[in-house]
Structure 1
């Protein structure tokens, strides 16, 4: 079983939710995250490169609840993740793995941060128990087995959250095997030995360690990728039948435009960004529009922005002294050959399509098999992961895209303060009208 990380689920003593989950994309705790980042007494906590004072993490969300929803905060017996919530549903125990627990600033030596717990008047027992990835925590409850029609002797093995399960489901068997899970958002991580010396300063790139084998998954997850095409579908094709075949139409129209989308560059930060940089205020923007441009140019600019997002992540991973030799890709976006070829051309890396589209589920199987067979996950991945197609980068297109990528990056940097100014302005206007917070 797996789910996304950074979804805060608040439950009562019976394990029932007391409010809607605060999702990873929920930005309401931005102020609380900023306060944590500026608190000198927490400086040592954030020397851990896997911890971020970001609105997507759990403690900023808990702080926001304590200030804005005190009744919910008081009624909550357990502050958990969606993984620990589902694990409790199956086993009666609120348990998660140590990589998911890092979103609560859990350290494998120090545990949960006592200072933050004390400030909030909480106890570590109100957070999930933490175990190693691949731990067998016992059988599922009889009531669950009866309800789902499962054998009563099924064991429950704790895996990890979706992006890291998909890392294994993409088959990283060699150093520099980059795994790219292309769903609504995108995860990109590369395999490095546990002894690798990395420099993770200046970005939100993480190096998350697995024990069997001793390997680092270096990278992160952005805020949106395949979801950009969903946005294009509903926004630029509102009168078209909204089926899967519409994506074929979008791809065909994008091919009618030229490389560079006729001079249109799209900043794709519709939900802000969390990796390789953290900016909840960043937003989308079409740059360079002229009267000559048509829908095909806008759609191509969005496709190309997906390649630019991937290149930015690859660049920051490589800046950390990790290597990315290939991109082993899976997820819904890989159904679009056009998007896969653009990724190869923009990054200059071969893109290999994982044969199993649902590679997150495959990754969970690999983790579970590792526990059952007492073998390392890399060996099992080598045994079960296959690839259906390979996209090679075109050197000429890569050179042209490199110039466009530089412009793409400069557009964000030159508008960073404008994005913050916009967010502050909208918040003030909204407070003037309603006197309440607005989720940007």
Structure 2
């Protein structure tokens, strides 16, 4: 261990994760602590930043001990986390209240106010972000209106990993993806938009300086060293948004690289070497200077599979469901599923959309329906690829990760539907690995971003079956037409439910 090691930290929704890696591609140790999500009212999503820091102070000594590493051997620290969370910090550096999470939906009135005071299309062109429930501005306005005393005490506003960086270094900073996803930042001028700040009732001095991921933003203070077991003076970089760090850590490092994440929600991320915005997709800065990440997020994917199993097959585990459906033909004997079980984010942005199982007959069985679910989720990924193709964005390589990637059937159906080989990344530590590598780049431990490949192990490549792919090419237009044909009915159903709820 004479060469030293790197520390990666991820502030996740359900856990705080810490890893140590050496410079040769080996994971030395990893430790996690659970985190709690609070929903004191319907549509609220909050977490306790102090809990994240307590988790880190607990997990770090254990991680060092498991790795057999002395604190002085840690060359640098990188932190990733959920984005864009909203945390108010007082003048003494303490969180004033719980964080408001990125998926919190308490601000419909404030969102409408922002829209009424702006040209939405112009805001999107300037900031790269639509005005949605994820936007920071409406949440700050909600705080100013509903918690004026808390809002008045705020010296700074920052995000999840920015707060941990602050605890480690005493330096208030923002990483540039928080700025971009806030919806308050003009990405062309690389500066805050004063009109949008005024709508949020926010002053410029409440927003810390914006830094790139691998910039060293400070060093571990004496107090933080005592609390965590790290060595005083250890460099800390600005870090990264969790999904950006995760995409990089599976090898998205060149124009045209694509990641499909088979998780509870379905994420798809595409690496691009120029700034392009599309109202159907999200945009982030890549950790690699000069690159961007276009990304899509389907509201539900693996969560549908989990719902199906718990509701209809609680006695079977997932491998058994896979085995049952393995011989079902492409198209599931005439079944097509719309996977909009909790509305949909990208690329249709329709919160009123619903799940649809089209084509049911008395001949269909549980395996048919399970297989149709996998196909419907895969059609959702294909829809994103169609959007990319419309923009002329070619695909160089596709990697697949997250828990669903362990299912050979889900991987095969996905490959068959989208028509690309899928490289499965084995034993993927996730965002914390990306954060650790970014820290290494920040202190010169690596010479090139391509060195991330030494940490990546492709377990298997799943190739598409061309005959099944041809069948899915025929079915995909029907999948798309099903949504368009039912869009008005989704709205009508929501109105009926609203009336029923009020009786």
Please report the TM-score for the alignment, with normalisation by the length of structure 2.
Answer: 0.75
Q: Please, which moves more after superposition, 145-154 or 390-399?
A: 145-154
Q: What secondary structure, in the 3-state scheme, does the structure 1 residue paired with 2:410 have?
A: helix
**Against the structure 1 CA distance between its residues 173 and 218, is the aligned structure 2 distance closer, same or farther, given a 3 Å change threshold?**
same
**Against the structure 1 CA distance between its residues 401 and 59, is the aligned structure 2 distance closer, same or farther, given a 3 Å change threshold?**
same
Q: Report deviation, 1:303.
A: 1.3
For 1:210-244, what per-residue CA distance to the aligned partner results, in whole angstroms no more than 9, with x for missing partners?
Answer: 47442232333332333333333333334x38xxx
**Against the structure 1 CA distance between its residues 7 and 407, is the aligned structure 2 distance closer, same or farther, given a 3 Å change threshold?**
farther
Between the aligned partners of 1:2 and 1:68, the Cα distance in structure 2 is: 30
Counterpart pick for 2:211 among 119, 128, 131: 131
Moved segments of 4+, more than 6 Å: none
* Corresponding position of 1:223: 299
**Against the structure 1 CA distance between its residues 39 and 418, is the aligned structure 2 distance closer, same or farther, given a 3 Å change threshold?**
farther
* Corresponding position of 1:203: 280
Give 5+ residue unaligned stretches, structure 1: 434-440
* Corresponding position of 1:148: 228
Q: Report deviation, 1:84.
A: 2.2
* Corresponding position of 1:287: 358
Counterpart pick for 1:165 among 245, 263, 280: 245
* Corresponding position of 2:122: 44
Tell me, yes or no, if the aligned pair for 1:9 and 1:17 is still in contact at 8 Å.
Answer: yes
Q: Report deviation, 1:49.
A: 6.4
Between the aligned partners of 2:150 and 2:364, the Cα distance in structure 1 is: 50
Between the aligned partners of 2:174 and 2:252, the Cα distance in structure 1 is: 23
User: RMSD of the alignment, in Å?
Assistant: 2.9
For 1:305-327, what per-residue CA distance to the aligned partner results, in whole angstroms no more than 9, with x for missing partners?
Answer: 22112111111122222111321
Tell me, yes or no, if the aligned pair for 2:244 and 2:287 is still in contact at 8 Å.
Answer: no
Q: What secondary structure, in the 3-state scheme, does the structure 2 residue paired with 1:262 have?
A: coil
Between the aligned partners of 1:423 and 1:29, the Cα distance in structure 2 is: 19
Tell me, yes or no, if the aligned pair for 1:327 and 1:349 is still in contact at 8 Å.
Answer: yes
**Against the structure 1 CA distance between its residues 124 and 228, is the aligned structure 2 distance closer, same or farther, given a 3 Å change threshold?**
farther
* Corresponding position of 1:437: none
Counterpart pick for 1:95 among 156, 173, 177: 173
User: In the alignment, is residue 262 of structure 1 matched against residue 338 of structure 2?
Assistant: no
Please report the TM-score for the alignment, with normalisation by the length of structure 1.
Answer: 0.85
Q: Report deviation, 1:258.
A: 3.4
Between the aligned partners of 1:404 and 1:148, the Cα distance in structure 2 is: 55
Between the aligned partners of 1:232 and 1:93, the Cα distance in structure 2 is: 47
Counterpart pick for 1:58 among 136, 155, 160: 136
Give 5+ residue unaligned stretches, structure 2: 1-78
Q: What secondary structure, in the 3-state scheme, does the structure 1 residue paired with 2:326 have?
A: helix
Counterpart pick for 2:323 among 252, 272, 281: 252
* Corresponding position of 2:407: 336
Q: Report deviation, 1:408.
A: 1.7
Q: Report deviation, 1:425.
A: 4.7
Q: Please, which moves more after superposition, 328-337 or 6-15?
A: 6-15
**Against the structure 1 CA distance between its residues 299 and 127, is the aligned structure 2 distance closer, same or farther, given a 3 Å change threshold?**
farther
Between the aligned partners of 2:495 and 2:112, the Cα distance in structure 1 is: 14
Tell me, yes or no, if the aligned pair for 2:123 and 2:130 is still in contact at 8 Å.
Answer: no
Tell me, yes or no, if the aligned pair for 1:205 and 1:276 is still in contact at 8 Å.
Answer: no
Counterpart pick for 1:325 among 369, 373, 396: 396
Between the aligned partners of 1:191 and 1:376, the Cα distance in structure 2 is: 21
Between the aligned partners of 1:355 and 1:153, the Cα distance in structure 2 is: 34
Tell me, yes or no, if the aligned pair for 1:212 and 1:377 is still in contact at 8 Å.
Answer: no
Between the aligned partners of 1:183 and 1:374, the Cα distance in structure 2 is: 32
Q: What secondary structure, in the 3-state scheme, does the structure 2 residue paired with 1:83 have?
A: helix
Greater share of residues in strand: 2
Q: Report deviation, 1:79.
A: 3.6
May I ask how many residue pairs the two structures share in their alignment? 423
Tell me, yes or no, if the aligned pair for 2:171 and 2:218 is still in contact at 8 Å.
Answer: no
Q: Please, which moves more after superposition, 377-386 or 393-402?
A: 377-386
Between the aligned partners of 1:278 and 1:50, the Cα distance in structure 2 is: 15
Counterpart pick for 1:372 among 425, 437, 443: 443
User: In the alignment, is residue 360 of structure 1 matched against residue 431 of structure 2?
Assistant: yes
Between the aligned partners of 2:449 and 2:428, the Cα distance in structure 1 is: 19
Between the aligned partners of 2:289 and 2:383, the Cα distance in structure 1 is: 28
Counterpart pick for 1:349 among 416, 420, 424: 420
**Against the structure 1 CA distance between its residues 260 and 11, is the aligned structure 2 distance closer, same or farther, given a 3 Å change threshold?**
farther
**Against the structure 1 CA distance between its residues 75 and 304, is the aligned structure 2 distance closer, same or farther, given a 3 Å change threshold?**
farther
Q: Report deviation, 1:131.
A: 0.8
* Corresponding position of 1:278: 349
Q: Report deviation, 1:371.
A: 1.5
Tell me, yes or no, if the aligned pair for 2:176 and 2:285 is still in contact at 8 Å.
Answer: no
**Against the structure 1 CA distance between its residues 318 and 63, is the aligned structure 2 distance closer, same or farther, given a 3 Å change threshold?**
farther
Tell me, yes or no, if the aligned pair for 2:411 and 2:422 is still in contact at 8 Å.
Answer: yes
**Against the structure 1 CA distance between its residues 31 and 127, is the aligned structure 2 distance closer, same or farther, given a 3 Å change threshold?**
same
Counterpart pick for 1:85 among 143, 151, 163: 163
